[in-house]
Structure 1
């Protein structure tokens, strides 16, 4: 494999949101989404599954609402390991909140909702990889089709929270330019294009349908700001892969900062992406 391409084992780690009402949003992700509160303070909270952190909430009482022109989050996507878990998620949403939509993407079945501060959420489960539709070029062919909720509802096992094996499968961004997005995430970072749609691009590592998605559907034109996405994390399989990425970003026009366990890169639209090696 070319050293300019991310390893197959690359995955998304944590995502972070800047929130105005920490108590309300923490309770929402606990009761509706099904995450467990791992740590909580007056200024922030960390939620996840068992002892694995997946979502960081940064309290920012004075943060302005996200401006209509600002780039940022389209949705955080929590991937569950089974249809049973997806059925349980559907039950929680119906009991405590409102389902915003549901789709069969050919590679997955997905539920959509929005948190109380307007952050998009997807909860989904993948179909077996060998069943994903692909074109002659080997790329994944995702689509958006109606999802029959009856078998999802019937599969529910009655579990109160998200099960072991849940992770952040992907992050979907709203960006000002797909060309700039591709320059950074593909040409610099090393993700590979998996699917292109009208005004949208989906990139992944190791043939995954997408670890990061981007769209310009709402014509965002300014940098990320205010409430909403603060940063998200990409986890590499080992220190060697992290070192190769550090070399690529060092020669790029993007600002790179060392962190305790890796690096932080300020990407297009001032969206911060953090990188670390798996521990």
Structure 2
């Protein structure tokens, strides 16, 4: 078992979706989610906030729709820096799309929706860290409670896009086995378990409530494939940490390849995760 845990500065970088309709999806993430289109070519579009890329859309018109039993993305979670920004997001969703759900998790307030190709999206804002409830052993305790949508929309500032400071707070995966997921992301890579609920596990670095979630609620049984999640990225603090993760991953059963700025590991369920400084 790995005794090295990832440092507090660890966070999620970009996520990438394999899509069948590039222009439609880019327009959705611009108009509904509120990202800016940073670049748009024949095969890829990159969206983000200001000059920071957060979402890569990879066009694959021949990709089959994600199989009903396939592992992959449950949702990408875009974290906004204020309740006003969350109110603006709610107003955009209600004007241009359909809200799928909303929850107060004790650590955050979250809105949920689904993009035109069936990928889940969360837009959320954290409560101040000192207000997060703690459970046994100092772990963060998350729950699911009703969210007062009217009070959220009442503080909207009328902004059409996501503000500076928005990032990908976490990625939530659908996996075939929580035990295998934990063996890789916790024991090998070095995340810490924060919250366990029936058929779901939430892990983070540096005490964050979760950088990665995983669940088996829909009983996924085959590897990721088709449209949906192509890869996601974990950003590390320094090259020493990257080298340590590289060494641990190389000693595992999973395939490691070098990228231009780090490494990529095809982990459990064929889900690809990239690591860079």
Contact 1:11 1:236 in 2 (8 A): yes
Corresponding position of 1:271: 271
**Distance in 2 between residues matched to 1:100 and 1:115, nearest whole Å:** 10
Correspondence 1:161 to 2:161 = yes
Corresponding position of 1:103: 103
Q: Deviations over 1:187-224 (max 9, x none)?
A: 00100000000000000000000000000000000000
**Distance in 2 between residues matched to 1:111 and 1:18, nearest whole Å:** 23
Q: Which runs of 5+ in 2 are unaligned?
A: none
Correspondence 1:152 to 2:152 = yes
Corresponding position of 2:10: 10
Corresponding position of 1:241: 241
**Distance in 2 between residues matched to 1:13 and 1:68, nearest whole Å:** 27
**Distance in 2 between residues matched to 1:147 and 1:31, nearest whole Å:** 24
Corresponding position of 1:129: 129
Please identify, of 74-83 and 245-254, the stretch whose mean Cα deviation from structure 2 is larger: 245-254
Contact 2:69 2:219 in 1 (8 A): yes
Q: Deviations over 1:24-43 (max 9, x none)?
A: 00000000000000010011
Deviation for aligned residue 1:3: 6.7
Corresponding position of 1:38: 38
Contact 2:3 2:187 in 1 (8 A): no
Corresponding position of 1:57: 57
**Distance in 2 between residues matched to 1:91 and 1:38, nearest whole Å:** 23
**TM-score, scaled to structure 1:** 0.98
Q: Deviations over 1:97-147 (max 9, x none)?
A: 000000000000000000000000000000001100101310111011110
Contact 1:266 1:273 in 2 (8 A): yes
Runs of 4+ in structure 1 displaced over 3 angstroms? none
**TM-score, scaled to structure 2:** 0.99
Aligned CA-pair RMSD: 0.8
**Distance in 2 between residues matched to 1:140 and 1:3, nearest whole Å:** 20
Q: Aligned to 1:117, what secondary structure does the other structure show? A: coil
Corresponding position of 2:171: 171
Q: Which runs of 5+ in 1 are unaligned?
A: none
Corresponding position of 2:70: 70
Q: Aligned to 1:183, what secondary structure does the other structure show? A: helix
**Number of matched residues?**
276
**Distance in 2 between residues matched to 1:34 and 1:225, nearest whole Å:** 27
**Distance in 2 between residues matched to 1:38 and 1:135, nearest whole Å:** 41
Q: Deviations over 1:27-72 (max 9, x none)?
A: 0000000000001001110000000000000001111110010000
Q: Aligned to 2:137, what secondary structure does the other structure show? A: coil
Corresponding position of 2:84: 84
**Distance in 1 between residues matched to 2:61 and 2:44, nearest whole Å:** 11
